[in-house]
Structure 1
Amino acid sequence: MGKKAGIVVLFTLLLGAITVAVLQHYPHQDEASSRQINAIAKPDANPLLSFKPHISAVPRPPETFTFPIALGETGPATNLYSGPNQYPFFCMTQESELGQPLVDNQQGFGIPVYQGDQVIGYSKDCSLPSQLFYFTLTEQNGEFTAIRLDEAAARKHNSSPLFRVEQGTINRFIYTLVMPIANQEVGERHGQSQWNKKLIYQFNGGSGIGYRQGRQKASRVMTRQAQQLLDGYAVVSSSGNKTSYTYNMLLAEDTARRVKQQFVSLYGEPLYTVGIGGSGGGLAQYLIGQNSTGILDGLIPLYSYPDMITQTTYALDCDLLNNYFTFRSDNPKAWRDWERRRQIEGLNAINEFPQKAGFLQPLNQLMAGFVPSFPDGNSECINGYFGLSAFINNPRQGFLRPFFSDDVIAQTHWSYWQDLKHIFGTDEQGLGRSTWDNIGVQYGLNALREGHITFSEFIHINHHIGGWKPQPEMRQEEIALPLGTRIPIWLTLWGNHNITKASEGPAPRHQGSIQAMEQAYRAGQVFIGKVDLPIIDARHYLENELDMHHMSASFYSRVRIAQHQGHSDNHVIWVAHKDHNPTAAAFKAMDDWLLAMKDNPQLSAADARPDALQDTCFNQDGSIYAAGSDVFDGQWNSKPQGQCQSRFPMFSTSRIQAGGGWGGDMFKCPLVSIETAIDNGWYLPFDARPHLGILKATFPQGVCNHEGRDLGRPGDL
């Protein structure tokens, strides 16, 4: 048997074994397929807010909808100021245990609505009438459960807390209002005797590119904030404020403003409104707090990033680097030491750490004609970001679940960039412009300077790393879904078919759109640190889990706040051992802080911060390991390492490892010649002078000057 035939046999056997394993553990059918969208509605014109010079300086238009929404009626199906509705738009009221949406057309736009087995119409905007429900909360072994009661049972219920829940749709998303009540208030809408007059706006995370209404179960909203509900807070939320469904922060703000207006029109103004939410639910608070007023008074972002769009800068490097280490390196054995990879990727990597999808590596190596090997380590780039480059960056990718027909899929450009095309603009092919750029980036520069890699390795990486192909040239990932399963078997690992290759010269890098970058800044999709609200940025320490919620992200936010306002005294960082949850303590501290501002309206957030509220790290049992202004000092602020930084060491990113700053907010670096870089001492203590020729050949356009101004940032910002 020849080598090629042997590879085919091995590939077939391996794919068969994987298929059997997948089928044993996962269902074949997906209920969403019965509600698949087969036709795309045309959006009506709708106002889009002006962004110049920055969204924070632009007044919002007056409300046009009359709140409150009457029970049995529907909320607004178009937003107030964030542009035309996006289509296709998959309704998820059934996944939210609310039944089918209302029929709004007979032309076949949106999902089919059934009566029995018969289609009686279609819903393109997913509206639901506003309605009331009643719930109680029970606790067992520290776990809360929300139990729904019918109205008769609720009237008799007095043995445990009772809550009135209102759900409906606003801006096409599902909204939820939760109010603690007494049982004598069952049956009427405005009772609030158990409310402490404080409001929580719950945000939620995930990675989303639009095109879905999103799921929001009342029980989940309640259990996330169970302790706060028991303490008397009211809680509001919307599926439009869960980033699993969109990172359009203008639409998220528009929706949050209206959901809060619905609440206020029913119950009056709260003493304050505090945000809570993790990951994307944290960055949403940063951006809404920066961009607008009247929605949030205090922020509790959990394991947050400053924003989504600057996270893509290094996250989209991950597949480039994994592709290099797996398929392009001239010495693959050198990169089987995962801690060496960390020197390039910045994010943590650990030898002998298992990979959930490790079987994909030998499968793809076989297909590419390499000797197969299973990975003997893992990285945050893989463990945290696997698959996201295709989902966020590839207009041909779409969803694995069958929300949309093949015709609809072919007509739609699926990407994060497309979700924001009305802000970023589109190219000649109608594709949303991308901000991602890696021209002049010297991957592994810090590792070279610190002696972790050789000069030849540095050159080889940067010669072959390449960049993402222009969007019109990208192809869908090759993914097998054996016999109808929903679990993907990636056959084009690390998007290697969508990454440029070296030919006559180095593999071409990717040029981002200056227009998109400027619009991202102006439209408030970038956190520029312009927020003076009280902030408690809290997170578990998850670096040893290779979790994508890396600790350093809190410090990107801090750097930007300090750069913008000259200090970060309104920004407190808490880091806790993964077994201790500091959220309840964060609410107590935020309550003290906000009430102090209520008592002294002339005080800024920085001046009103309680003296006891400091940067802090917590032990497993909740005790304080260290607290104070210097406990997190370290490489990020060029100071001796503080106690918390020693206890909970943090890592960096591929762009920091390439010489970038810890603010992480440079889309497009200004370029300088290799001669200038050498004269500036950027390679020292490595002596780059004898290697001028090969450096110039590797970086023909020049290299990044990270001391310069981001070329994508408008000059008036």
Structure 2
Amino acid sequence: MWRTFKYLFILTGLVLVGLWGYGQYDQYTHPYRKHQVQRLPAEPPTGQILTIERHLALTPRPADSYPFPIPLGEVGPKAPLYAGAPQYPFFCMTLFSGLGQPLVDNQAGEGVAVYREENGEISDEVIGYSRDCLLPTRLHYYYGSQDGEIRPLPVMEPGAPWPDDVAMIAGASGRIPEIYRVESGTINRYPYYIVMLATPDQPREYAPHWDRRLIYQLHGGSGIGFRQGRLSATKVITKLRDPLREGAAVITSTANKTSYTYNILLAEDTARRVKKQFVSLYGAPRYTLGIGGSGGGLSQYLMMQNNSGLLDGALALYAYPDMVSQTLYGLDCDLLNTYYAFRSQDPKDWQDFNQRAELEGLNAVAGFDQRAPFLEPLNQLIRGRWPHWPQGSSECINGWFGLSALIHNPRQGYLRPMFSEAVQRQTHWSHWEDLHQIYGRDPAGFARTTWDNVGVQYGLEALKTGTLSVGEFLHLNQRIGGWVDPEAMEAERIWAPLGKILPLWLTLWGNHNVSDGWPAARTQGDPQAIERAYRSGLVFLGRNPLPVIDLRHYLDEQLDMHHLSASFEARARIDQWQGHHDNQLIWVSDHRYTPLDEAFEAMDIWLAAHQRGEERPRTLDDRCFGEDGQILAQGEGVWDGSWNGREEGACTRRFTSYSNARIQSGGPWAGSIFRCRRIPVDEAIAAGIYGDIDMKPRQAALASVFPDGVCDYRQGDEARPADLTLGAF
């Protein structure tokens, strides 16, 4: 009884806090509110998108007619060259990157307001509006201080001495001040940066300290477009300070930060132009090395596969093979959590987080603290379910919570006030909408989606190992359902009375958008969207023509979403496509050590050999690192394991790998099966899909749960274009 009172007390307290805070919410002023997009353009945008007949890798890109370099004080190209029409609404973020307000481009109220500035202060007087968030190209200077900080260089008179605390470093001509020239501007409406060692007394085109290495910095995050993105110059310098001090040049753009878009075609279009701006000023580099984590890692895999002409090699940190195939199990997470909390026969049974791991594949840990554990019992009480305080957490919760709202729900939008209410109502907010020029639209006007779970037998491996009984397996698959159609979705009911301090999710796991029934309906992916995802290079097929080090910290024990098995998923696809993985190395380190210096050195050696037409040097191989940087094991086979059907290698034994919900449903480690080919349940039983479990007595029940049949993963992806066979190009 005392537990009931405890939950009621918590619920009452949360409601009281919510009521108090809700009254304060209207007075809450976010920095974005003054600069939010008030109105969409009156005329629909136009633009050219690349015609792709077979695959992006086989499609020539058009010649760029823009006369690079962009002169100082002028604006770079606004519309993409071949990535389609510009997207609106588009929230300008130049001010929040320290680059100032964007240029006024209209007086019709389209876009964000631009205010008069007086003595460096922004007034309340609107002087116009910016629809496209453009900036003139200009130069800024920063310096590295002796205490290790990166600081803006004060405006200096000619011949004035450098700041007293400037660090002195080794240059080609002796000791030089650690001063960085940063060029900024906009290309395709996104801010870009060019960073290298230089001083204000040197001409813009002069790069005396550049060692001919060019690094393209890419960044990660989860984003659905509609905003320009922000990136500070000090962070760019700090992140790559060591190679910059040695003489490398760094270029980057917010279009290559997946916090703002996963439109790989747009990212490539922009990156090629940023590189063209650099080359037009300084000449061709010895090589261009990509570096970036998470979304910035997968972007490199795709850009190399797709023959972007941008990179010569990649340091893919915390990488996945691609984004769109990760949504398959990522969107499974909220379905499973909805089942545990609201649909299972007894929710307390699912407080055994070891059992959850058997279904989810991703790691789950008993006793691991959740960030907001009160949300589950709160939502259970609201729905008339007996509340249960979580007894642990999982990667699904700790890493993937909110994905269904951000990526998949067109009604959700952003919590931050970037857009007026009118603009919010006129826009579909999802990853699919961000790429609607690729995926296409359905008859209801919503972007087509690739996500599908028809025939997926959740918990199949747990059934075969005895973790799930036959009855539990049937109930799970009968009630788990899928996501309702986009036009039927509703925004999350999130009560955020104290801004972001105490958000109360009153529709936890997006459960109000999960189909219901007996059995609950599954979701069918759109064949057109899936085909276009394949052909447009959004799916990593395994083509790996250039050197890449797939490097990550081991974070599975922390329930971080950047799990080790993503490296194996990429390698499995590479092995399938090419029959070898000569151009991919997997390096994994204890989280207390980062072998980045070793990776830069290895890539310098490897790229030199690659450009000579030679194979990878034998000194470079797969390896794993301990907390003090020592190599624990290295060589061929150190990462073998269940993912490739071999005995565990030395590194796999040191760093435990997990899987995901689709693998635990019988799917392959390579993933990327969007629409499985299905067979009737009697054929599945005869084929031995259920292992030693005799399903014949429950055949009728199983058939009622799966009237359209169950996945037969042996047959591959039904929606994959037939001409994109393994090793086809």
Aligned counterparts of 1:584 and 1:487: Cα–Cα separation in 2: 40
Give the deviation of 1:566 after TM superposition.
Answer: 1.2
The superposition leaves residues 553-605 of structure 1 with CA deviations (integer Å, 9 ceiling, x where unpaired) of 0111111111111111110000000000011111110000111223x2x33xx
The superposition leaves residues 232-286 of structure 1 with CA deviations (integer Å, 9 ceiling, x where unpaired) of 1100000000000000000000000000000000100000000000000001111
Which residue number corresponds to residue 656 of structure 1? 663
Which residue number corresponds to residue 468 of structure 2? 453
Aligned counterparts of 1:532 and 1:19: Cα–Cα separation in 2: 58
Give the deviation of 1:292 after TM superposition.
Answer: 2.2
The superposition leaves residues 3-33 of structure 1 with CA deviations (integer Å, 9 ceiling, x where unpaired) of x999988634333357889999xx9421100
Asked if the contact 1:434/1:513 (under 8 Å) is kept, the reply is yes
Are residue 522 (structure 1) and residue 535 (structure 2) matched?
Answer: yes
SS at match of 1:556: helix
Aligned counterparts of 2:21 and 2:401: Cα–Cα separation in 1: 21
In structure 2, runs of 5+ residues without a counterpart are: 117-122, 169-176, 725-729
1:495-534 equivalent positions in 2, closer than 5 A: 495-502=510-517, 505-534=518-547
Aligned counterparts of 1:688 and 1:624: Cα–Cα separation in 2: 48
Q: Equivalent of 2:588, from 555, 562, 575?
A: 575
**CA, structure 1 residues 399+293, in 2 after alignment: closer, same or farther (shift >3 Å)?**
closer
**CA, structure 1 residues 357+6, in 2 after alignment: closer, same or farther (shift >3 Å)?**
closer
Which residue number corresponds to residue 31 of structure 1? 31
The superposition leaves residues 83-134 of structure 1 with CA deviations (integer Å, 9 ceiling, x where unpaired) of 0000000000011001100000111110000002210100010000001011
1:130-169 equivalent positions in 2, closer than 5 A: 130-138=137-145, 140=147, 144-152=148-156, 156-157=161-162, 159=168, 160-169=177-186
Are residue 695 (structure 1) and residue 695 (structure 2) matched?
Answer: no
Asked if the contact 1:400/1:486 (under 8 Å) is kept, the reply is no
SS at match of 1:44: coil
Aligned counterparts of 2:595 and 2:678: Cα–Cα separation in 1: 44
Asked if the contact 1:347/1:381 (under 8 Å) is kept, the reply is yes
Aligned counterparts of 1:215 and 1:23: Cα–Cα separation in 2: 32
Asked if the contact 1:22/1:487 (under 8 Å) is kept, the reply is no
Asked if the contact 1:151/1:187 (under 8 Å) is kept, the reply is no
Which residue number corresponds to residue 618 of structure 2? 611
Q: Return the letter of the residue paired with 1:291.
A: N
Q: Equivalent of 1:634, from 629, 634, 641?
A: 641
1:165-184 equivalent positions in 2, closer than 5 A: 165-181=182-198, 183=199
The superposition leaves residues 52-92 of structure 1 with CA deviations (integer Å, 9 ceiling, x where unpaired) of 10010000000021100000001011010000000000000
Aligned counterparts of 1:451 and 1:131: Cα–Cα separation in 2: 65
Are residue 354 (structure 1) and residue 369 (structure 2) matched?
Answer: yes
Aligned counterparts of 2:306 and 2:247: Cα–Cα separation in 1: 29
TM-score by length of 2: 0.93
Q: Return the letter of the residue paired with 1:621.
A: D
Which residue number corresponds to residue 409 of structure 1? 424
Q: Return the letter of the residue paired with 2:109.
A: G
Which residue number corresponds to residue 473 of structure 1? 488
Which residue number corresponds to residue 253 of structure 1? 268
Asked if the contact 1:348/1:651 (under 8 Å) is kept, the reply is yes
Aligned positions, number? 700
Asked if the contact 2:45/2:87 (under 8 Å) is kept, the reply is no
Asked if the contact 2:223/2:258 (under 8 Å) is kept, the reply is yes
The superposition leaves residues 483-520 of structure 1 with CA deviations (integer Å, 9 ceiling, x where unpaired) of 55575321000111000112xx3100001100000000
Q: Equivalent of 2:210, from 195, 213, 219?
A: 195
Which residue number corresponds to residue 722 of structure 2? 715
**CA, structure 1 residues 274+23, in 2 after alignment: closer, same or farther (shift >3 Å)?**
farther
Q: Return the letter of the residue paired with 1:170.
A: I
**CA, structure 1 residues 223+418, in 2 after alignment: closer, same or farther (shift >3 Å)?**
same
Backbone CA RMSD of aligned residues: 2.0
Q: Equivalent of 1:423, from 438, 452, 456?
A: 438
Give the deviation of 1:373 after TM superposition.
Answer: 2.7
Give the deviation of 1:643 after TM superposition.
Answer: 0.9
TM-score by length of 1: 0.95
**CA, structure 1 residues 153+696, in 2 after alignment: closer, same or farther (shift >3 Å)?**
farther
Are residue 366 (structure 1) and residue 381 (structure 2) matched?
Answer: yes
Which residue number corresponds to residue 126 of structure 1? 133
Q: Return the letter of the residue paired with 1:699.
A: F
1:373-388 equivalent positions in 2, closer than 5 A: 373-388=388-403
Give the deviation of 1:136 after TM superposition.
Answer: 1.5
**CA, structure 1 residues 154+407, in 2 after alignment: closer, same or farther (shift >3 Å)?**
farther
The superposition leaves residues 431-472 of structure 1 with CA deviations (integer Å, 9 ceiling, x where unpaired) of 110100000000000111111111111111100000000011
Are residue 538 (structure 1) and residue 573 (structure 2) matched?
Answer: no
Which residue number corresponds to residue 171 of structure 2? none
Give the deviation of 1:151 after TM superposition.
Answer: 4.3
Aligned counterparts of 2:317 and 2:411: Cα–Cα separation in 1: 32
In structure 1, runs of 5+ residues without a counterpart are: none
Q: Return the letter of the residue paired with 1:149.
A: L
Answer with 168-177 or 186-195: which moved more. Answer: 186-195
SS at match of 1:167: strand
Aligned counterparts of 1:337 and 1:137: Cα–Cα separation in 2: 51
1:185-224 equivalent positions in 2, closer than 5 A: 186-224=201-239
Asked if the contact 1:104/1:124 (under 8 Å) is kept, the reply is yes
Aligned counterparts of 2:154 and 2:279: Cα–Cα separation in 1: 26
Q: Return the letter of the residue paired with 1:646.
A: R
